[in-house]
Amino acid sequence: MVLPKVLMTDVVRSSQQGDSHGGAYLIDLQRGEYEQVLDWDRIDISWEGRGQGRGLRGICFVGDEIFIAASDELFVFNQSFDILRSYKSDYLHHCHEICYDGHRYIYLSSTSFDSVLRFDTREERFDRGWWMRPMKLGSGVELRATVFDPNEPDGPPHGDHLHLNNVCYTNGVCMFSGLAMNMLASIIDDKVRPYAIVPPTTHNCQPLGKGVVMNSTGQDALVLGDRSARVLKKFEYPRYKREELSHADIPGDYARQAFGRGLCVDRVSKLLIAGSSPGTVSAFSAQKGEMVATLQVSNDLRNAPHGLEIWPY
């Protein structure tokens, strides 16, 4: 089995102004080696809360270029990780994940606006958005999408009611999920279509085979499940002795061990590759039911992996 290289971004939670508050690492799981390719210390961000404007987030590759989201800005890098250009939208804030459809569009989760934004890589502009709102329907609640133009001032209000933190693109459809949704849903013809029920407090939920795979952050584990939220397999993340960690006195609501975030699937080796705190990337074999590799880039408990993608170059 040949293990892949992956690109990982991270957020240093609860870091202070002037500190490095994130970066990006190129990780060779086969050799057990890594290189920090970006050290992110911009100071023109929000320093409130655990993560907020800190660090770097979702990743996608478009041709020879690397797109990486910060909290409220989409950056474009070359393969030497020089910044080529960047794009902003008034409705992109506290972005978590991004995904590319393989042809033209990048989809971004805008957590603070309960929205999914679309970026046109040909026109180089944000061109469409979907504001997700729970609507009462009889005795139940239905999630509905309101389409808006990210370039106009009449878009959605600042909210974060769903903590919409995830987007993925599968079989020609954009899907999304959030901590307060308990659902992986699709956007089809500008309408929300439920795809699967997922446990509470998940990140990076995406279809896999006939079911779903996700970071079940509430269970400190990578979970494979069916579409009705039944757990089929669960892989726990590595843990370390307290004396091996730095900043271990940070409150758990800011940073804690085995906080799972960042997930990609290697279609060649058929491995599930996931991130967890502090600064750890692990590869799991669903077929063997075990972890086959793990690599830690930092023992700082505040160091939380965020974006994770197979390196294609």
Give the C-alpha separation, 310 to 264, whole Å.
Answer: 7
In SS3 terms, 13-34 reads as CCCCCCCCCEEEEEEECCCCEE
Return mean pLDDT, the chain: 89
90-102 pLDDT tens trace: 999 989 999 999 9
What are the structure tokens assigned to 219, written together?
Answer: 């269970």
* 5-310: CATH superfamily: YVTN repeat-like/Quinoprotein amine dehydrogenase (2.130.10.10)
237-264 pLDDT tens trace: 999 999 888 887 766 556 688 889 999 9
Give the C-alpha separation, 197 to 200, whole Å.
Answer: 9
Tell me the pTM: 0.92
- The CB-side HSE value for 161 (13 A sphere, CA atoms) comes to 11
Residue 16 pLDDT exceeds 50: no
pLDDT band at 49 (very low <50, low <70, confident <90, very high): very low
Evaluate whether 299 touches 245 at the Cβ level (below 8 Å).
Answer: yes
Which phi and psi (to 5°) does residue 305 adopt? Answer: -55, 150
What are the structure tokens assigned to 179, written together?
Answer: 């901590």
Instruction: Give SS3 for 86.
Output: strand
Strands ordered across the beta sheet of 290-296: 260-266, 271-276, 280-285, 290-296
Give me Rg for the CA atoms of the chain: 18
Residue 130 pLDDT exceeds 50: yes
User: What does the domain layout of the chain look like in residue ranges?
Assistant: 5-310
- The CB-side HSE value for 83 (13 A sphere, CA atoms) comes to 12
